[in-house]
Every structure is written in C-alpha cells, then in structure tokens.
Amino acid sequence: MIAANIMSTEVITLKPDDTIARAVELLVRHRIRAIPVVDDEKKVVGIIVPRRMLRAALPSYISSGDLKDVKFAPELPGFVRRIENVISRKVSEFMDGCFVKVTPETS
C-alpha cells in the first residue's frame, strides 16, 4: 500500500503567523490531532499539536512531569492568564519543525 491510497487531499493547514486560538478552533471543529503549518508557497514548514500548547498553559510543575499525581486543579486565575497568553501567540512559536515527510508514492 502507498500513502496515496490513504492520504487526504483536502488538508486543513495553518500559516506560521496564525494564532494559537485559530489552531485550537480548527483542531476542535475538525476533530483532528495535528495541523500542518505551511508557508506562502504551500510548503510544509512545521506541524502544530495540542501537547505543545498545553505545556505552555500548564504550571511548570505539571508540564515538566515533576508532579506524578495531579489530584487537584491548578490555581485558577494563574492558569486562565497562561491560557489567555498562549491563545494570542503565533503558531510559529509552538510548531514542531521536526516531522516525517512522505510523498504519495511512499509505502
């Protein structure tokens, strides 16, 4: 089997200057787990996934893994401030530039 047999041709994409709020909107609306980030020539320059956005919003003691068992909510006002800060930032700050590229002929 080759990638062309299972790949989507109508792909949801983002630009590096789009906001994280836009990324979250697309992830939720389309029920997808990752979005390719493309430049003006439609070349993939990165990928955005929810994990990186969440790490930026969560308190460091949770996102670092130092606290193994979280049975309480983080301090709410600080958490809300971090979320507000994250959603206004650019996709380029959170995208991962290290990803696997395949062509339609890849098996």
Average pLDDT over residues 96-107: 88
Question: Which helix (H) or strand (E) segment is 44 a member of?
Answer: strand 44-48
More confident residue, 97 or 55: 97
Q: What confidence score (pLDDT) does residue 78 get?
A: 76
Q: What confidence score (pLDDT) does residue 11 get?
A: 92
pLDDT tens-digit map of 51-80: 888 888 777 666 666 656 655 555 667 778
pLDDT tens-digit map of 16-65: 999 999 999 999 999 999 999 999 999 999 999 988 888 887 776 666 66
**Contact (CB, 8 A) for 82 and 56:** yes
